[in-house]
Amino acid sequence: MLPLPGRFNGAVRALAAQRFAATGARWKDVVFERQFDLFSLADARAVEQEALDDGYRFDFSATVSLESEPDKYKRPERETPAFTDGGTNADGRRQVGVGDNVIRKSATVTGPVALISRIEQVMGYLADGIPEGTIAVIDDSGGTLTAPIIEGFAGVICLGGTVRSHLGILAREYDVPTLMNCKIDTLSDGDVVELEVTAAPPAADAYETGDTGHARIWLVGNEG
């Protein structure tokens, strides 16, 4: 079992076993009628707080989480200026980021980016349509903001979450090439990028071991 789930499950089992033993009752008389005597909401919060006190921070799935509980979640690294040396490859491309590929494709995807973080932008796309080939840059991995329009994108760069976040699930359902958990240099509306969606998705334990970020993002031009 992965370290964090193992830590939670171990704490739950230990507390429940200790309190059940103290009841002196039979299991069948406790499990349905007095289950909250064995493990309560306060206990769950205490286990979580212990992990936070040890320095653990959760990956956020919606930006509202960052606003409501900023000390509990990792901040998105939208701009990482030290990520590349700024050089350009012989083919004219410059690597500007990495991410975790959700769906392995047979070819890379290229298109102009649109930075999307406001409801007004989504409403505009609903009313006017999404320009063909648009690659969305989204900092909310929850999917609530962009779910109504996600199938219209040629690709998605998400700055948070994991391949198992809600946005990652939507991307698989709608077959939209998507990179999650991205670290990027500065990108502006109209920058044309290429997504390495031919990369293998991360392994099941990648977010615990840190073996992530194998799909590359290249800047290839600007339509502005």
Nearest-5° Cα angle at 201, 51 to 69: 30
Per-residue pLDDT, 145 = 83
Q: In a 3-state reduction of DSSP, which class is residue 58?
A: strand
Give CA–CA dist 171/165, Å, rounded. Answer: 10
Q: What are the φ/ψ torsions at residue 21 (nearest 5 degrees)?
A: -60, -35
Give CA–CA dist 83/222, Å, rounded. Answer: 20
Pair 174, 186: CB distance under 8 Å: no
Per-residue pLDDT in tens (0 to 9) along the chain, 224 residues: 567 888 889 999 999 999 999 999 998 888 888 888 899 999 999 999 999 999 998 877 666 677 788 888 887 655 555 555 556 676 778 899 999 999 999 999 999 999 998 889 999 999 999 999 999 999 878 788 888 999 999 999 998 889 999 999 999 999 999 999 998 988 899 999 999 999 999 998 888 888 999 999 999 987 66
